């Protein structure tokens, strides 16, 4: 595997990769370089390196393959109108990865190492960061149990890696989402891993999500497994309701992911003098709301046009004159550098 330091990067390299940015969707287009760092069990991550994006070589008995010992993160690099590249709250993602790694008995990079790896990866792939307004560079950090195990238990070796791909809108062509409340399957259970970004959280919902999409829905709103009365979140994003001046979202517990976008929207809403409630959000609360929206790195802030539950469909206000749009506009402006970042959330990368 050729390291980045051994690769020759021509000074006349074009500002942008050869991509039709107007047609950009949310599919993998591997950027040129990825970052890798390894450590053994009981030790700490130390030195990493950039290398050409390539396939990994894993032992068939690797813990990630046999026992699902792995963790992921996801964040975006945006290009501002002046050409600068911005990262949004990378330290928060590093802290969340550390929390998840501890839950899965894995070592994790320090927050400083995490952020440095992100910056190196983005700068090495800066020509893959789309032009302003055309999308973003989605950055995917991973920690996996790469060492071999037979008896169930933590891996003897771990790999931290970061790769990237330019992306457009997750729901391309859709200005809003149509959700269905699912009461037959659950995304997470109390005491499980729903509150971290464990790799094992996602494939169990592939089947119900596929069925929901086949029925014309964008995603599922999952109910709590204990009572089946309370809304938790969608497959990969948090949910909010708006009723008058009150914005509500399910209170964090070990079945709900502490989303970075969720946290940011709460702070923005409070700065706009809305009343924010983190509470047990009942199905009836959602069906009676004025607006509903979802938040996440991939979806950003996306309005919900309708929610269907047990055959009943409720429709919500969407469009320019909404609380959702006010919050979305403010967050997007901070992320892309078109508004003052009074919260200190963005990090500007120093380009070569």
Q: Which positions are catalytic?
A: 197
Q: How far apart are CA 293 and CA 238, in angstroms?
A: 9
Question: Under a CB-based contact definition with an 8 Å cutoff, are residues 153 and 104 in contact?
Answer: no
Q: How far apart are CA 76 and CA 243, in angstroms?
A: 30
- Convert the chain into a string of H (helix), E (strand) and C (coil): CCEHHHCCCCCCCCCCCCCCHHHCCCCCCCCCEEEEEEEECCCCCCCEEEEECCCCCCCCCEHHHHHCCEEECCEEEEECCCCCEEEECHHHHHHHHHHHHHHCCCCCCCHHHHHHHHHHHHHHCHHHCCCCCCCEEEEEEEEEECCECCCCCCCCEEEEEEEEEEECCCCCCCCCEEEEEECCCCCCCCCCCCCCCEHHHCHHHHHHHHHHHHCCCCEEEEECCCCCCEEEECCCCEEEEEECCEEEEECCCCCCCCCHHHHHHHHHHHHCCCEEEEECEEHHHHHCCCEEEEEECCCEEEEEEEEEECCEEEECCCCCCCHHHHHHHHHHHHHHCCCCCCCCCEEEECCC
Question: Under a CB-based contact definition with an 8 Å cutoff, are residues 16 and 131 in contact?
Answer: yes
């Amino acid at each position: 595997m050729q390291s980045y330091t051994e690769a020759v990067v021509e000074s006349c390299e074009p500002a942008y990769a050869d991509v039709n940015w107007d047609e950009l969707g949310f599919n993998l287009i591997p950027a040129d370089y990825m970052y890798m760092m390894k450590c053994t069990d009981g030790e700490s991550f130390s030195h990493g390196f950039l290398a050409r994006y390539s396939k990994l070589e894993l032992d068939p008995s690797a813990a990630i393959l046999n026992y699902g010992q792995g963790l992921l993160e996801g964040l975006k690099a945006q290009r501002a109108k002046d050409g600068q590249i911005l990262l949004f709250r990378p330290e928060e993602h590093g802290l969340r990865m550390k929390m998840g790694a501890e839950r899965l008995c894995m070592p994790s990079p320090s927050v400083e190492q995490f952020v440095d790896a992100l910056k190196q990866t983005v700068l090495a792939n800066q020509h893959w960061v789309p032009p302003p307004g055309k999308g973003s560079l989605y950055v995917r950090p991973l920690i996996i149990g790469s060492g071999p195990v037979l008896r169930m238990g933590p891996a003897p070796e771990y790999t931290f890696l970061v790769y990237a791909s330019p992306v457009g809108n997750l729901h391309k062509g859709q200005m809003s989402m149509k959700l269905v409340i699912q009461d037959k399957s659950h995304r997470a259970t109390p005491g499980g891993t729903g509150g971290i970004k464990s790799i094992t959280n996602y494939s169990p919902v592939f089947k119900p999500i596929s069925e929901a999409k086949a029925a014309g829905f964008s995603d599922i709103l999952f109910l709590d497994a204990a009572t089946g009365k309370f809304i938790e979140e969608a497959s990969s994003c948090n949910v909010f309701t708006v009723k008058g001046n009150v914005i509500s979202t399910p209170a964090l517990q070990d079945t709900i992911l502490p989303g970075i976008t969720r946290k940011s929207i709460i702070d923005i809403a409070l700065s706009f003098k809305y009343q924010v409630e983190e509470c047990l959000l009942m199905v009836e609360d959602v069906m009676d709301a004025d607006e509903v929206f979802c938040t996440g790195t991939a979806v950003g802030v996306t309005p919900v046009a309708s929610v269907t539950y047990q055959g009943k469909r409720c429709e919500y206000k969407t469009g320019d004159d909404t609380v959702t749009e006010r919050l979305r506009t403010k967050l997007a402006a901070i992320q892309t550098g078109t508004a003052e970042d009074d919260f200190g959330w963005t990090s500007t990368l120093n380009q070569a």
